[in-house]
Amino acid sequence: MSSVSRLFQQFDAVYFDLDGVLYRGLAAVSGAAETVSELVRGGCAVAYVTNNASRTPGEVAAHLDELGIPAEASEVVTSSQVAVQILCEHAPAGSRVFVVGGAGVEQALLDAGFIASRDPRDCVAVVQGFGPLVSWQDLAQASYLIQGGAIWIATNLDSTFPTQIGIAPGNGSFVAAVRNAVGREPDGVGGKPDRSMMDRAMAVVPAKAPLLVGDRYDTDVAAGISVGIPTMLVLSGVSAPADVWASKIRADYLGESVRDLITEYVGPQERSDGYSCGEAKAVYKVAESVVHATGGTRLERLRAADSLKWSLVEQVGVDSFAEGRISLDLGE
């Protein structure tokens, strides 16, 4: 091999978010299998850290395997597992728990010694996660239990997630429906950005220099920041360049997809008049309140513009970008 520097070589483990990173719905993101296989061949450990609570770790690993992505159930951390871990602080093992969501929630409860019930009678707690068959009935029964004093743990609060067709409502939208009915917040939330999710990942696949790769700022990048590990935001899922621009938190690396882990890494450079990245250049036009990025690839323009944005934050405040007072022109 040449001496080309590839991003993953700086790390000894990569924790992958799944939806929008390695797959969208049932289909793999282009280059996902090649990328993970290359990492594993290069001696980099991998773990899969998903807020999607609907499936068991075994089912997730089997799906990844079908897509050509090498995965063991033991390398998969789901928000259902973490939600049940939190439930243990509120209710003794053996308690009867009402399940909202798919088999992932049910299995995690059984593994921890709870009685997982689809019948609300005598349940002292509710664990609410996503499942494609979650119905109004489930949400109503959960609401009645919570109003009657049951403990309420949500697996995660992602409001949306990407499928192969488009963006679909996520568990956070269903939790909001129950919140509207019961007038209070859940007693606990398992998924990213909560650090317990990352703590579990780091226990399962320990690393000295890990990287977290995700497609959302509010869950993935925030989770990485909560435990002090570097993050890469990829544009293959729910986030677009406009979300990068508006974000109040910073991802250490940007990629079009996970493939950018194994291709030659081109990083941004500070210049006297702005930032460059490969053939791209970003400059701030103060009079127009706009950052213009030109040349190179879209990713190079975005990396240059993002670095320029964060160099300006101290002077102008992060709200200038979040609220659109300084806009981004990527020349598209």
Single residue of 7, 19, 138, 253 touching Mg ion by CB under 5 A? 19
Is 17 one of the binding residues for Mg ion (CB under 5 A)? yes
Number of residues that bind Mg ion (CB under 5 A): 5
Site for Mg ion in 234-253 (CB under 5 A): 237
Is 218 one of the binding residues for Mg ion (CB under 5 A)? no
Supply the minimum distance, in Å, between the C-beta of residue 107 and Mg ion: 21
Catalytic member of 12, 17, 243, 260:
17
Is 20 one of the binding residues for Mg ion (CB under 5 A)? yes
Supply the minimum distance, in Å, between the C-beta of residue 197 and Mg ion: 13
CA-to-CA distance for 290 and 308, rounded, in angstroms? Answer: 11
Site for Mg ion in 76-95 (CB under 5 A): none
Supply the minimum distance, in Å, between the C-beta of residue 223 and Mg ion: 11
Could you report how far apart the first and last alpha carbons of the chain are, in Å? 35
Supply the minimum distance, in Å, between the C-beta of residue 50 and Mg ion: 8
Q: Which stretch binds Mg ion (CB under 5 A): 65-73, 209-217, 303-311, 324-332?
A: 209-217
Single residue of 215, 218, 260, 306 touching Mg ion by CB under 5 A? 215
Is residue 119 annotated as part of the catalytic site, yes or no? Answer: no
CA-to-CA distance for 110 and 94, rounded, in angstroms? Answer: 9
CA-to-CA distance for 160 and 167, rounded, in angstroms? Answer: 6
Going 147 to 186 to 26 to 118, the CA torsion angle's sign is negative
Taking the least distance from each CB to Mg ion, the nearer of 126 and 244 is: 244
By beta carbon distance, the residue nearest Mg ion is 20
Q: Hey, what are 184's tokens? A: 């209070």
Is 172 one of the binding residues for Mg ion (CB under 5 A)? no
Taking the least distance from each CB to Mg ion, the nearer of 19 and 187 is: 19
Taking the least distance from each CB to Mg ion, the nearer of 150 and 232 is: 232
Supply the minimum distance, in Å, between the C-beta of residue 178 and Mg ion: 22
Taking the least distance from each CB to Mg ion, the nearer of 146 and 213 is: 213
Distance from CA of residue 293 to its chain's centroid? 27
Is residue 19 annotated as part of the catalytic site, yes or no? Answer: yes
Inter-residue contact 56 to 103 (CB < 8 Å)? yes
CA-to-CA distance for 137 and 285, rounded, in angstroms? Answer: 55
Site for Mg ion in 262-291 (CB under 5 A): none
Q: Which stretch binds Mg ion (CB under 5 A): 17-25, 225-233, 246-254, 298-306?
A: 17-25
Q: What is the Cα gyration radius of the chain?
A: 21
Active centre residues (catalytic)? 17, 19
Rule CB under 5 A: which residues touch Mg ion? 17, 19-20, 215, 237
